[in-house]
A and B are shown apart, each in its own frame.
Chain A
Amino acid sequence: MNIAIIGCGTMGMAYAGNLAAMPGVKVTGVVDINAGRAEKAAAVSGAKAYTDVDTLLQQEELETVAICLPTYLHKPFVLKLAEKGLHIICEKPAALTLEDALEMKAACEKHGVRLFIGHVVRFFPNYANAYRQAHSGVIGTAKMAHFKRYGSYPKGMDGWYSNHDQSGGVILDLMIHDIDFACWLFGEVESVFASVIKREEPEMEYAQVTLRFKSSAIANLTGYWGYPGPFTTQFEIAGDQGIIRFDSNQVQSLDIKLAAGPSGEQAAVQIPSSPSLHDPYYDEVQHFIKCIQDGSEPRVSAADACYAVEIALAAERSARTGQPVIMGGNAS
């Protein structure tokens, strides 16, 4: 499988490292408008570095492309690459609007290529375990849940994260992980209520969202860009016969403390990690590649990704109006 990576920021570099190590996969090209970043990804993956997609497409024989660009660029690149007959693995969120996300999905269907959106939380072993446990019956029927996802304020190229028109903000970019997981767990959403706090100096955005599902389950989600503590995820799923809890600050299977202080340099976008043979991004991309190869359905579909965007935008709307947003129609 020949694959190219477009966008060599934090996520593109993670893809480069993972794909380079994956059997049966060859990274043939990496693209970034910043030549230095493209070179770095090329060095990691053994691919050739490009600074524009057109040259990549002219020079390389590709089957699949991984899009690791800022959200506002997802749609134009997905449409362009689908037209070229390439399968697409695209970082989350799918797009900034539901219409754009649906258009991307439709374009891929029209051109007969697969579209996968990187809702990686479904591949995190702690979340996948919780999903299995919650559906195994050991906690009875899952009824309520809490999800928390806090990190530093992400620093993308030209500050694109802090531009709401480019990233969609903390709900669409960060909390969407938990929105997708909650919908995977509980199904279709009936209503959404949200509050958002956004400030400059120091830059922060914080959201609290309550989803009420058609199953009558309730979930409360909090997301925070600009959290002064370490990257933190927590969840609790309460059933009528049991509770499942996770706190990223209480699961260190390895702790190394060095006498000299930490070097101080912080990642542009924090990515959680826990000692494991492969990181969840590896498992996710490997799963998507397998789906391309054998035509099977992915753990998270393009329709699921569109739905997560729909719920995230409903939350934004609720935060603006101060009233709940009632969801209509079916999931996909």
Chain B
Amino acid sequence: MNKIKVGFISFAHMHAVSYLNSMQKREDVEVVGIADENAERVRPYSVERGIPYYANYDELLAQDLDAVVICSENARHAEITKRAAAAGKHVLCEKPLGLSESEMLDMIQTCKDNGVQLMTAFPCRFITSVRQAKEAIDAGQIGEILAMKGTNRGTMPGGWFIEREHSGGGAVLDHTVHVMDLMHWFTGSVAEEVYAHAETLFHETDIDDAGMVHVKFANGVVAVLDPSWSRNRTFPTWGDVTLEIIGTKGVINIDSFAQKNDVYSDITGKAAWSFWGDDMDEGLINSFVDSIRDGKPVAISGEDGYYSARVALAAYESASSKQTVRLK
């Protein structure tokens, strides 16, 4: 069996660990190397797992590779994606895809020009409740979608996430894109108007940690989304992904992490939710690998990443102009 050869570039975003674990579960995948300028950060995954380490990702790209997984700081997604594409490697890129419309369109075009696929890492599409909701919607169970309300509230991640030169934005960029992608997927439409607040309300930081994003889609659907880093230290889990979909014939509520046990621990000193549902990251990785192996289009394209990230960018524009922003 010809194995799919995969490299990892940067573990700045710790989703890389979970993606690596999912890759290593597959018989048909060989992880050829991990590139990261920070050797210490990846030691537990490279040296300790016997995976070759590269300080410079160009050296990794020079190897015999089919695809790379990019989990760098947001600000480096474009540069690394384009280099990987030029080296003829398919790309799975962590969200948000990029930090400007032009940069993202450039990434998409470069991948096309080099005949490689670009997939945006939106694991929420592989939450089982989300997939079943999509099936129910496509089967017409709730009729036509009229409105949606979503939340992707989380814990303040700290680190480079709150350094604008690395992240490009705070909570509104970090957490708008996941649920916005689901909204696009469910409606089959594209966000056309954005009105938003982006504020620093919860933490001692210069970057936005709170927001509220209203969207109107081309097909008339209205939606609102809370992307705030508003989960405090004693909240029983890191955050949530919820989506309520109001249709002409019914209502669907998704509470992605509701499959949990309540744990009351004197050892940790707080109540906690222990999640026991399916692993969405594994679904994402399997989908990417299957597409590469079978030569089929990836399930979540670069364009999908672009459509969601530009809503977050428009949200900042709206928050600063205090007006509704129209997307072209």
**A143 touching B230 by the CB < 8 A rule?**
yes
- The residues in A between 140 and 178 inclusive whose CB is less than 8 angstroms from any CB of B are 143-144, 146
| Cβ contacts under 8 Å, A144 to chain B | 201, 210, 226, 228, 230
In chain A between 226 and 273, which residues have their CB closer than 8 angstroms to a CB of chain B?
Answer: 227-229, 238-243
Greatest chain A CB density within 10 A among B153, B195, B324 is at B195
Chain B residues within an 8 Å CB radius of A51: none
Q: Which of B164-214 contact A (CB under 8 A)?
A: 193, 195, 197, 199, 201-203, 210-212, 214
Q: Does B246 contact A (CB under 8 A)?
A: yes
Inter-subunit contact B146/A195 (CB<8 Å): no
For B231, list chain A residues within 8 Å (CB).
243
A241: chain B residues within 8 A (beta carbon): 232
Q: How far is the CB of B50 from chain A (nearest CB, A)?
A: 43
Q: B296 to nearest A CB, angstroms?
A: 37
A240 to B323, alpha carbons, bound, how many Å? 27
Please state if A224 and B246 are interface contacts (CB–CB under 8 Å).
yes
CB distance from B139 to the nearest CB of A (A): 17
Complex CA–CA separation, A288 to B235 (angstroms): 38
Task: Indicate if the CB atoms of B246 and A206 lie closer than 8 Å.
Answer: yes
Shortest Cβ gap from A217 to chain B (Å) = 7
Number of B positions contacting A (CB below 8 A): 34
The total of interchain contacts (Cβ-Cβ below 8 angstroms) comes to: 89
Given contact pairs A206-B146, A208-B222, A224-B246, A216 touches B230 in the complex (Cβ within 8 A): no
* Closest residue on chain A to residue B211 by CB atoms: A218
By a CB distance below 8 angstroms, the chain A residues around B80 are none
A240 touches B203 (CB 8 A): yes
Asked if A243 and B224 sit within 8 Å, CB to CB, the answer is: no
A222 touches B197 (CB 8 A): no
Which of B203, B250, B324 has its CB near the most chain A CB atoms (within 10 A)? B324
Report the bound CA distance from A218 to B250 in whole Å.
Answer: 29
Q: Cβ of B197 and Cβ of A210 under 8 Å apart?
A: yes
CA distance A272 to B325 in the complex (A): 39
Q: How distant is the Cα of A40 from the Cα of B224 in the complex, in angstroms?
A: 44
**B224 A210 Cβ-Cβ under 8 A:** yes
Say yes or no for A36: interface residue by CB 8 A criterion. no
- Cβ contact within 8 Å between B226 and A208: no
Residues of chain B with a CB closer than 8 A to A243's CB: 230-232, 235
Interface membership of B147, Cβ < 8 A: yes
Task: Across the interface, name the chain A residue whose C-beta is closest to B318.
Answer: A324
Q: How far, in angstroms, from A220 to B227 measured CA to CA in the complex?
A: 12
Q: Which residues of A contact B248 (CB under 8 A)?
A: 199
Cβ contact within 8 Å between B222 and A218: no
| B211 smallest CB distance to A (angstroms) | 8
Please determine whether A146 and B323 come into contact, CB atoms closer than 8 angstroms: no
Provide the residues of chain B in CB contact with A143, threshold 8 Å.
201-202, 210, 230
Closest Cβ of chain A to B202, distance in Å, is 5
Contact residues, A188-219 vs B (CB, 8 A)? 191, 193, 195, 197, 199, 206, 208, 210, 212, 216-218
Q: Which residues of A contact B151 (CB under 8 A)?
A: 146
A125 adjacent to chain B (CB < 8 Å)? no
CB-based contact B224/A195 at 8 Å: yes
Residue numbers of A with Cβ under 8 A of B are: 139, 143-144, 146, 191, 193, 195, 197, 199, 206, 208, 210, 212, 216-218, 220, 222, 224, 227-229, 238-243, 322-324, 326
Known pairs A210-B212, A220-B224 / 17 extra A-B pairs, C-beta < 8 Å: A139-B232, A144-B201, A197-B146, A199-B248, A206-B246, A208-B149, A210-B197, A210-B214, A218-B201, A222-B149, A228-B251, A240-B201, A240-B203, A240-B232, A242-B234, A243-B231, A243-B235
Selected A-B contacts with CB under 8 Å, 9 pairs: A195-B222, A197-B246, A210-B197, A218-B199, A220-B149, A220-B212, A238-B228, A238-B230, A239-B232
Binding site for A on B (CB under 8 A): 146-147, 149, 151, 153, 193, 195, 197, 199, 201-203, 210-212, 214, 216, 222-224, 226, 228, 230-232, 234-235, 246, 248, 250-251, 322-324
